[in-house]
């Protein structure tokens, strides 16, 4: 990797305070860029290579975001990218807008009604209930420490992307799960720790969630862990929450992403249509 790439990463890491996962994302993205000073034709060729290697538009756009951040930095420095920027920019590819995977109410009911045995199963159920109740990202949930949980006021502090903390409410029902788990959890600061007190591996959690769903008689949706976040967002809107409050709860920096999470499904439109149709008789 060239000195310019490394300097960009150092500034992002030590000035912008990005996480180590973000640093790795930059490194993986820069592997597609052959030169630190690309031409417009080279950037077009880069996108073509991605597509020829089989990357889907969403995966390409994931890399393009990192590369555009570097292209901005080369010309404008650490200032925020805006309409007046003169640097080269890779246009994002058009993505297929698919319905985000969610858990239906019967699945959530089965997960709530499950009777776990022992420490490991109780931890798993409590983690699943936490994801469903507050819509946290999996890393945010796995990084929660007991001092972050305010049992009296039903609030939890989440440590989000870009070192941005936010305080979100949780339900009385989740407090019961957390209180029960706290009594048998391993001693230490992390709420969802392994037996030796270390942070759980998200891949192990994914495996356990899929096995649990199948054992309860239903197939887990795609992106089985993140689907809890989608489910939280969808039901937040269904039950009268505003998209602006949802943006705060999810920790999104832009309303555009929140709207995507909160897109209603066909069943919601079907239920609403008789009320709004011009052909429905009015009393």
DSSP symbols for 139-177: HHHHT-BGGGEETTTTEEEEE-GGG-EEEEE--HHHHHH
pLDDT attached to residue 266: 59
Encoding tokens for residue 29? 């993205």
Give the tokens for residue 265. Answer: 């499904």
Rounded Cα distance between 231 and 213, Å, is 15
Q: What is the mean pLDDT of the chain?
A: 88
> Lowest-confidence range among 23-37, 116-130, 233-247?
233-247
What is the pLDDT at residue 238? 83
pLDDT score, position 31: 93
Q: Please name the fold of domain 105-268.
A: hpI Integrase; Chain A (1.10.443)
Residue 63, pLDDT > 60, answer yes
Reported residue count of the chain is 283
The DSSP symbol for 220 reads P
Those residues with Cβ within 8 angstroms of residue 279's Cβ, 6 or more apart along the chain or in another chain: none
pLDDT at 85: 81
Q: What is the end-to-end Cα distance of the chain in Å, rounded?
A: 71
Say yes or no to pLDDT of 278 above 80: no
Evaluate if residue 244 carries a pLDDT over 80: yes
Mean pLDDT throughout 20-44?
Answer: 92
Position 50 pLDDT exceeds 90: yes
Pick the closest to residue 203 from 139, 160, 283 (CA basis): 139
pTM as predicted: 0.74
pLDDT, residue 55, reads 93
pLDDT bucket at 271, cuts 50 / 70 / 90: low
Three-state DSSP at 165 gives strand
Cα–Cα distance, 280 to 74 (Å, whole number): 59
Q: Tell me: the pLDDT tens digits for 124-157? A: 999 999 999 999 999 999 999 999 999 999 999 9
Q: How many other C-beta atoms lie within 10 A of the C-beta of residue 173?
A: 11
Tell me the mean pLDDT in the region 62-68.
Answer: 94
| Residue 162 confidence class, pLDDT cut points 50, 70, 90 | low
User: Where along the chain do the CATH 1.10.443.10 domains lie?
Assistant: 105-268
State residue 111's pLDDT score: 96
Tell me the per-residue pLDDT of 175-187, one tens digit each, with 9 for 90 and over. 999 999 999 999 8
- Strand order from edge to edge, sheet including 165-169: 149-150, 155-159, 165-169
Counting Cβ atoms within 10 Å, is residue 66 exposed (0-12), middle (13-18) or buried (19+)?
A: buried
Q: What percent of the chain has pLDDT over 70?
A: 90
Residue 76 φ/ψ, nearest 5 degrees: -105, -10
> Could you read off the pLDDT of 72-119 as tens digits, one per residue?
999 888 777 777 788 899 999 988 777 778 999 999 999 999 999 999
Q: Look at 17-31, 116-130, 179-193, 239-253 and tell me which has the smallest mean pLDDT.
A: 239-253
């Amino acid at each position: 990797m060239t000195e310019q790439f490394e300097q960009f990463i150092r500034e992002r890491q030590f000035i912008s305070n990005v996480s180590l996962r973000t640093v790795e994302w930059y490194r993986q993205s820069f592997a597609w860029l052959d030169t630190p000073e690309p031409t417009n034709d080279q950037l077009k060729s880069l996108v073509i290579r991605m597509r020829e290697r089989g990357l889907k538009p969403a995966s390409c756009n994931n890399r393009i975001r990192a590369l555009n951040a570097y292209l901005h930095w080369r010309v404008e420095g650490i200032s925020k990218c805006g309409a007046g920027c003169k640097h080269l920019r890779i246009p994002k590819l058009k993505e297929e807008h698919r319905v985000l995977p969610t858990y239906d109410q019967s699945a959530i009911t089965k997960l709530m009604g499950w009777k776990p045995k022992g420490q490991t199963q109780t931890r798993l159920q409590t983690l699943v209930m936490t994801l469903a109740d507050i819509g946290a990202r999996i890393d945010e949930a796995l990084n929660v420490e007991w001092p972050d949980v305010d049992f009296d006021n039903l609030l939890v502090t989440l440590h989000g992307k870009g070192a941005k903390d936010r305080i979100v409410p949780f339900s009385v029902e989740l407090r019961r799960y957390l209180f029960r788990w706290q009594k048998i959890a391993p001693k230490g600061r992390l709420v969802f720790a392994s037996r030796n007190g270390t942070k759980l591996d998200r891949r192990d959690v994914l495996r356990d969630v899929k096995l649990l769903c199948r054992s309860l008689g239903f197939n887990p949706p795609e992106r089985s862990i993140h689907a809890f976040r989608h489910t939280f967002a969808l039901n937040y809107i269904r039950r009268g929450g505003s998209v602006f409050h949802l943006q705060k709860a999810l920790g999104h920096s832009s309303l555009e992403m929140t709207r995507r999470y909160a897109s209603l499904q066909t069943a919601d439109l079907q239920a609403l249509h008789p009320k709004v149709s011009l052909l429905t008789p009015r009393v």
